[in-house]
A and B are shown apart, each in its own frame.
Chain A
Amino acid sequence: MLKLYVGKRSTSSWSMRPSVLVRQANIPCEEIEVLRDSKDAQSLQYSVLKDSPRPGTIPALQDGDVWVWDTLAIAEYLAELFPEKNLWPQDRRTRAHARSCCSELHGGFAALRQFSNIPMNSDASMAGAGDIVLQTQAGVRDEIQRLCQLWSELLQAHGGPMLFGAFTIADAHIAPVILRMYNYGVPMPADVQAYAARVLKLPGIQSWIKDASTGEDIANVDE
């Protein structure tokens, strides 16, 4: 049985990506939430993940004695393990395009990552905060504009309902961004808004949001 170690669900956008992927694709996988107490070698997170070649790094996927870390590498590994799930688009050129979108989000969008430090707070309604962020932070505004344009083009090119037609890794990869934009009331063009609504209704996302909003106290340090 695969094991996916994730961080605190209500705030960890990197953990959300592989988790939404396994949930939405119905991949059998045990998910273990590891709350980050500190980054020290003595921390709980470190001790839970001490067998990983990259101890303490979350998210991490364990498959027997194979450890895979970092969202993109986990996604590629799952795509190889479950070819019948079509986690990437089937057409090679479309697949290359999907990987470009994911890879760009993984390494770029520096301003948006600051915005991403704002907790996802899937249980808190912060509508209105998005307007303030857009007005005061030009970098975030430009990056959101670029993303909306990209998504719009993809929806048009592939006819929806998801970015590349059916659900793929790309949708899982942008899910945390969509969730934040939605929670913070960031204005989006109509077609992107409709796409965001469809993403948020995906069973894999709904189940993550449900788990993120139950049980855990709000960590003051992240607010």
Chain B
Amino acid sequence: MLKLYVGNRNYSSWSMRPGVLVRQAQIPCEEVLIRFDSFAAQSQFKTSLKDKNPVGKVPVLEDSGLWVWDTLAIAEYLAELFPEKQLWPQDRAARARARSVCAEMHSGFTALRSHCPMNIEAQLPHIGALVLRDQAGVRADLSRLCQMWSELLQTHGGPLLFGEFTIADAYFAPVVMRMRTYALPLPADVQAYADRVWALPGVQSWVKDGLAEQDFLDFEEPYRLQR
């Protein structure tokens, strides 16, 4: 049985990607929560991960003694293990495009990631408005996302980025969470896509578990004093 180690579901955007992927694709996998307490070397979070994963980070996938870390590598491994699930688009050109946008997400969109950290349970529309007003980097990231999604939806005819659900949608699901929390304004076609991602059973099941955590970690909360 595969085991996926994840961090707090409310906060951990990197954990959410493979979490949504296995849930939505119904891949048999046990999900193990390793609660964030702090990221210091002696923290319970780091020590309980230490034997499992030399990087000391989540998410990590275990397959009988094999440790696969980092979201892109986990996604590729699952795509190889379950070819019948068609986690990547079947067409080679579309698959290359899907990998390109995932890789872009993996190393890019830093302004959006730092100014609008994922916090599924929080409603922070006023913060979103201030961030959009003051941060040109966030405006640029948002406009690039809208352009990318709009083009892909048009090319493949929806409902998701490459037609049916693929790794790319799982990869952008945390961005959809941020758009909701910070009430970022979106063009109609992009908003409709974001709403469809939100409604995916795999996303809803992750959100439900995230809301049930009821945990408040101050180092993940630049904008709230309490829950």
Contact = CB atoms under 8 A, between A and B. Distances in A.
Interface stretch (A41-49, A97-105, A171-179, A188-196): A97-105
Given A67-B97, A69-B100, A96-B73, 13 more contacts: A70-B99, A70-B107, A72-B72, A93-B66, A96-B77, A96-B80, A97-B68, A100-B67, A100-B68, A104-B70, A106-B106, A107-B72, A108-B55
B172 to A, nearest CB: 15
A66 B66 contact: no
B213 interface: no
Contacts of B95: 80
Contacts of A87: none
Contacts of B67: 100
Contacts, number: 93
B54 interface: yes
Contact of B106 (A67, A97, A107, A146): A107
B99 A103 contact: no
A222 interface: no
A73 B80 contact: no
Interface residues of A, number: 30
Interface string B53-75: 01101000001001111111100
A183 interface: no
Interface of A: 53-54, 65-73, 76-77, 80, 92-93, 95-97, 99-100, 102-104, 106-108, 146, 149-150
Contacts of A67: 97, 100
Contacts of B151: 53
A70 B69 contact: no
B73 A100 contact: yes
Nearest to A70: B103
23 contacts: A65-B93, A67-B97, A68-B99, A71-B103, A72-B72, A72-B106, A73-B96, A76-B99, A92-B77, A96-B77, A97-B66, A99-B68, A100-B69, A102-B73, A103-B69, A103-B70, A106-B106, A107-B70, A107-B72, A107-B106, A107-B107, A149-B54, A150-B54
By Cβ-Cβ distance, the 3 closest A-B pairs, closest first, are A70-B103, A103-B70, A99-B73
A219 to B, nearest CB: 23
Chain A interface, DSSP helix/strand/loop, else mixed: helix
B104 A69 contact: yes
B224 interface: no
B100 A68 contact: yes
B150 to A, nearest CB: 12
B4 interface: no
A53 B97 contact: yes
Contact of B76 (A54, A71, A96): A96
A88 B116 CA distance: 36
Contacts of B70: 99-100, 103-104, 106-108
Nearest to B81: A92
Chain B interface, DSSP helix/strand/loop, else mixed: helix
Interface in B200-225: none
Given A70-B103, A72-B106, A97-B66, A103 B73 contact: yes
A86 B106 CA distance: 25
B133 interface: no
A87 to B, nearest CB: 13
B102 interface: yes
B83 to A, nearest CB: 12
A69 B92 CA distance: 14
A96 B68 contact: yes
A132 B104 CA distance: 33
A92 to B, nearest CB: 6
A72 B99 contact: yes
A16 B63 CA distance: 33
A72 to B, nearest CB: 5
Contacts of B80: 92, 95-96
Contact of A70 (B55, B71, B104): B104
Contacts of A80: 92, 95
A70 B72 contact: no
Contacts of A102: 73
